[in-house]
Structure 1
Amino acid sequence: MPPLTPPTLTRLVLAVATAGSFIVPPLVSAEEQEQEPAWAQGRAAELGESPLSPHATPLTITPEEDIPVDHLRLPDGFSAEVWAHGMPGARMMALGDEGTLFVGTRGIGRVYAVTDQGDARETHIIAEGLGQPNGVAFKDGSLYVAAINRILRYDDIESHLAQGEDIPEPEELTEAFGLPDDEHHGWKFLAFGPDGRLYVPVGAPCNGCEVDPDTHATIHSFEADGSDMRIEARGVRNTVGFDFHPETGELWFTDNNQDWIGEHGPGDELNRLGEPGEHFGFPECHSVGIVDPELGSANACDDKTLPAAVTDPHSAPLGMRFYTGEMFPEEYRDAIFIARRGSWNRTLSVGYDVLVAKLSEDGLRADLSPFMVGLLDPRENSFSGRPVDVLQMTDGALLVSDEQNGAIYRISYESPSYME
């Protein structure tokens, strides 16, 4: 699909605005923007009374009997259960060497640890009072936590948990990493790559604006101690999930596109990094080659890397992982599971599910299809859960974090009897 230049985009806007697809009226002034919350940046003056706004995350424990596991729908042979609960705001996950599950949060400022006791799990609060400690990663016995610009390392943490000891104060690596302290899109995802480096995104500090391409809207990588920073990708508005292809080692990542351009576009993205330093478009070019009506020029998309796949606008694809286990059928091997937290910037909600992305034969593109649904009720335009991350267990089962209910679901597979 060729890029959409400003004149073409203008004709598209005029043609479909009456259907509610794209709405790009005059923007509010800079002074008015400063008085509005961050999520309202870019909202046109005519939409000042719009009821659309982010959904608040409950910060209290959801009783187990109220967790909507019975709403979940999966392909034949798959089943879901509540694996752990009692963790308000549960988001990104990392697995320790001894099987401990570590869980980050945003608004509640906590980091949890879940220890498996066989037929039950115990939940521990190992840190609190942090600034949006969303990102967690584990390597060589240490837990790494990202809280906006802070990077903390908790050494030998599973040993302390196993012995029932207090968690020692973490090693502060903040100065070494030198990350910006912007809160808007400042929450982080963390993952160690096959090269042993720690990969850290730095989101755009705005809805849509010019950014320093060496600082914001990037994915950085570092040595584990914060040294030797490299920029791996540019033009990435807000990724909160990535993983590495199990065979090629290529970085794949989700990206959340701009709000207030329109309810039905531009689509959110699944991207593949072919070469270090590639530019993925923000802020000039969005999705499948849509030139930004304010910041783009006629050729803005010509030198940009377009997505490997595009999903529904505003659906918030976040955590994603390649599946390498043996529990699920062969068709899922090396596929990507993607958690979509769900929309707020559109009237008819979308997302609140888990997708599966199966790669093309050449490994350059992906086809998306539903995998776990049921938390969104389209008839009532309401939701009962918000998936944020996915994580493969050592036995091949898939964990899904539900931020809305502070719960972790375990998805397993057994061949249906009619297939035996």
Structure 2
Amino acid sequence: MRLIAVGLPMLFWCGWIQAADLSDIRLPAGFRIEIAVDDVTNARSMALGDQGTLFIGTRRSGRVYAVTDRDGDGRFDPPRVLLDGLRMPNGIAFRQGALYVAENHRIVRYDRIEQQLERPPEPSVLARLPTETHHGWRYLAFGPDERLYVAIGAPCNICDEPGFGTIVRMQADGSEREVMAAGVRNSVGFDWQPGSAVLWFSDNGRDWLGDDLPPDELNRAPESGMHFGYPYCHGGEIPDPLYGRERPCDQFTPPALKLGAHVAALGVRFYTGEQFPADYQGQLFIAEHGSWNRTVPDGYRIGLARIEGDQVTSYTPFAEGWLSPDGVTGRPVDLLVMPDGSLLVSDDHAGVVYRISYNP
């Protein structure tokens, strides 16, 4: 098993990054974790092509990677830099042979991309986006309605700026843009519940109200136009010190699940595979990227939200061990269910993609 060895000092609480064996990662019985893709600097959002190409977006490196498994052994070949010099290309999606990329300032499409990995075509520009960089890394996905969804984070810690703090949707060509959800400070992950096709999304709570307030949120949006409180109300019941007097909390939709404060919940993914045990079917995994501004760090794990209908009945750790008293070895970002039922997890801290599989 490969060791993750990183030798740079961190610039916040934990001092030195520690090398760690993946045996430090704790999973339920029967599950195992291994590295599926190595040397992917700042690995963030993932999308899978029709021919099995795994596309990986980034936030800081300005790249989109493409990796393939040519010999079919379940381990991807060394990654190639597909696109470079982009502006925060965090969000990526794949549909009908085309790769969609959400940069900070625009959404673009690369047609027939899997036939042109050696020389990608010039992109078509579908939509212009705000250029503010605070929370300017976008999440992008196609919904069951075949429309393209993108998050527009607030350009601040706390402010009331029109056009921000939303999840918007549009046709695949960028037309007919509308607000799906408002009052969303910064969502970097969403998915649709199997069967109901209802949108569920993560949202990062505001900073500087202390270690334990407000909670990060898992939200549920069964219809368009719902408002989830930001910047007036947090966690469904906490009036904001600056904006709370303008609108009361009972005007907004409370979260489906209150997560830990500052855990930085990012990717969310309903499990739709068949490899994991039956009681994981239709349940929701949440990647907690981890706190950067909390006295006692929290997050750095993958949680499992068990859901019955429209209610979350429990939330427990599924994969943890990237955080220890000695430091941080990884920060989960995005999740992707593969055709064989395994679960891929990107890690922008270690620069890898893990595969979690089940074999009792």
Q: Report the TM-score range of the alignment, normalised by the length of the smaller protein.
A: over 0.9
TM-score (norm 2): 0.92
Correspondence 1:209 to 2:156 = no
1:298 and 1:168 mapped to 2: Cα distance?
49
For the Cα contact (< 8 Å) 2:219–2:255, is it kept in 1? yes
Counterparts of 1:3-402 in structure 2, within 5 Å, are 68-117=21-70, 118-119=72-73, 120-122=75-77, 123-161=79-117, 165-173=118-126, 177-212=127-162, 215-297=163-245, 300-360=248-308, 362-377=309-324, 379-380=325-326, 382-402=327-347
Name the structure 2 match of 1:405.
350
2:172 and 2:235 mapped to 1: Cα distance?
32
1:207 and 1:159 mapped to 2: Cα distance?
42
| CA RMSD in angstroms, aligned pairs only | 2.0
**Bigger share in strand:** 2
For structure 2, the 5+ residue unaligned runs are 1-9
Q: Deviations over 1:170-189 (max 9, x none)?
A: 2222xxx2321111011100
For the Cα contact (< 8 Å) 1:272–1:364, is it kept in 2? no
3-state SS, counterpart of residue 91 of structure 1 = strand
Q: Offset of 1:68 from its aligned partner?
A: 4.2
Larger Rg: 1 or 2? Answer: 1
For the Cα contact (< 8 Å) 2:236–2:249, is it kept in 1? no
Greater CA drift, 222-231 or 150-159: 150-159
Q: Offset of 1:368 from its aligned partner?
A: 1.2
Identity %: 50
Q: Offset of 1:70 from its aligned partner?
A: 2.6
Could you say if the C-alpha distance between residues 54 and 205 of structure 1 is closer, same or farther in structure 2, counting changes exceeding 3 Å?
farther
For the Cα contact (< 8 Å) 2:347–2:353, is it kept in 1? yes
3-state SS, counterpart of residue 160 of structure 2 = coil
Could you say if the C-alpha distance between residues 366 and 268 of structure 1 is closer, same or farther in structure 2, counting changes exceeding 3 Å?
farther
Could you say if the C-alpha distance between residues 96 and 366 of structure 1 is closer, same or farther in structure 2, counting changes exceeding 3 Å?
farther
TM-score (norm 1): 0.79
3-state SS, counterpart of residue 65 of structure 2 = strand
2:312 and 2:347 mapped to 1: Cα distance?
28
Tell me the matched-pair count: 347
Q: Offset of 1:305 from its aligned partner?
A: 0.4
**Bigger share in helix:** 1
Q: Deviations over 1:309-367 (max 9, x none)?
A: 0111000010111101110011111001111110011011111110111113x323352
1:366 and 1:285 mapped to 2: Cα distance?
24
Q: Deviations over 1:82-128 (max 9, x none)?
A: 11111110011011111111000011111001101223422111111
